[in-house]
Every structure is written in C-alpha cells, then in structure tokens.
Amino acid sequence: MATSKVFFTNLRANPKMNLLQKLSKLIDMAGFNSIVFEHKFTAIKIHFGEPGNMAFIRPNYAAEVVGKVKKAGGKPFLTDANTLYSGKRSNAVDHLLSATQNGFTEVVVGCPIIIADGLKGTEQHEIEIDQPHCQTARISAAVAEADIIISMNHFKGHEMAGFGGALKNLGMGAASVGGKLVLHSTSKPRIQTDNCTGCNICVTKCAHDAVHLSADKKAIINYEFGKMHRY
C-alpha cells in the first residue's frame, strides 16, 4: 500500500490569516483542486455531537469546506448516520434536533443536512466486500449513493481502537444502524453465569431492555431484543 501524504497545520492564527483561512489553505495543499466536483453529490461526513458534548468540529469549519465544494460546482451535504446506542442521535428526528442544538443548520453551514440512513437507520446499501470477517458492509444510503465523500473527523480516544479518526468516522460512522450492529457484534457482552447472583442490577440498568433473569435467577441477554426496542 502506498504511503499516505499527511498535511497538517497548527492552531496559531495571526492578523493576516485566521483559522478558517488556514483550513482553506490546508485543503488546497492536500489536493482539493485536483478533484472534479462539478455536479457531484458530495457527502461531508461529520459528527454533529451529542447535546452537551463540546468535542465536535465547529460548524463554521464545516461551512468553510461546504463553501469550497460549492465554489467548485459540487452539491455538498453534511451527513452522519444514526447511532446504534440509544441517545440523542439514534433516529433522524432526534439527530437533526441535536445537530441544530450544536449549531449545524443549513443557514450556518450553507448546505442541507441529511441523516444518511434515514428516519430509523434502515436506509442502507449492502455492498459486497468479501473480506475474512465481513462479506458485506451495510452502508448508509446517502453515503453509499454519494459521488464524493469528504471525512471531517475529530480526533478522539476510543475504548477499543485506541484512537478514532478518519477510519472510524467512515468505517463505523457511515454504517447504517444495522451495519453498526454487525460491526459491534463480535464484542458483545456476555454473562459469566457462574458468578451471577441474580441481583437484577443489569436488568434495571440496561439502556436497551435487553437483559432479563431466568427462572433460576441468572441474567440472560437477548441481543436481538435490544435492537428491536431502540425507540
């Protein structure tokens, strides 16, 4: 595999160049102008942030990228797919309200905001990839149908991968809810039945109502049940 060229800039601004202008310059240096955007649907994949979370990319950075795509003749839209976990981004209604709360509106960013896998996370394309661990990938429809994808991702810690960046933003973040379920299914929680005292705490605390106690007071996880009752 060819080595990637990585371009970066620091966060120092000066009277001649603010951070948005530096972002624009960085994008140009990375080869933006070699991409043919004319009439192309351009998905800008971003994380809108959960309400109360401040660690998302500010909307005015997104607006800078949107403006450049539009200037190049493209049809940009800002997008993310619904989450697997229950929260404020697990369906398109809550997701769009969360995005609005964090400042991502069409007026601010300059393009439509589309939840990539639809109202309940079911709009997807199942694409053959024929890899050892995955034969198909369930990709959110709006991402799968886009002509161009730009990943606008923040850098974050991740409990399983160590760090999350562009690969996670696209590889996991662009998956539909069903796709995310597949991605997480190899690391599903298991009950060590011998150690279970039947205290019932996991039953009452499970955010997905997926745990119940058996007749002999042992916790049992119903993995499918948790998904079906997300809403």
CB of 198 to ligand SF4, least distance (A): 5
CB of 191 to ligand SF4, least distance (A): 5
The single-letter DSSP state of residue 121 is S
Closer residue to ligand SF4 (CB): 27 or 213? 213
CB of 225 to ligand SF4, least distance (A): 16
Bridge partners (DSSP) of residue 115 are 80
Closer residue to ligand SF4 (CB): 175 or 210? 210
State the DSSP H helix or E strand holding residue 124, giving kind and residue range, or none if neither.
Answer: strand 124-128
Determine the residue type at 52: G
Rounded Cα distance between 206 and 191, Å, is 13
CB of 203 to ligand SF4, least distance (A): 6
Bridge partners (DSSP) of residue 175 are 139
Closer residue to ligand SF4 (CB): 120 or 218? 218
Closer residue to ligand SF4 (CB): 29 or 191? 191
Tell me, rounded to whole angstroms, the distance of Cα 139 from its chain centroid.
11
The contact set with ligand SF4 (CB under 6 A) reads 191, 196-202, 219
Closer residue to ligand SF4 (CB): 36 or 220? 220
CB of 210 to ligand SF4, least distance (A): 12
The single-letter DSSP state of residue 34 is G
Give yes or no for a contact between 129 and 135, defined as CB atoms under 8 angstroms apart: yes
State the DSSP H helix or E strand holding residue 211, giving kind and residue range, or none if neither.
Answer: strand 211-213
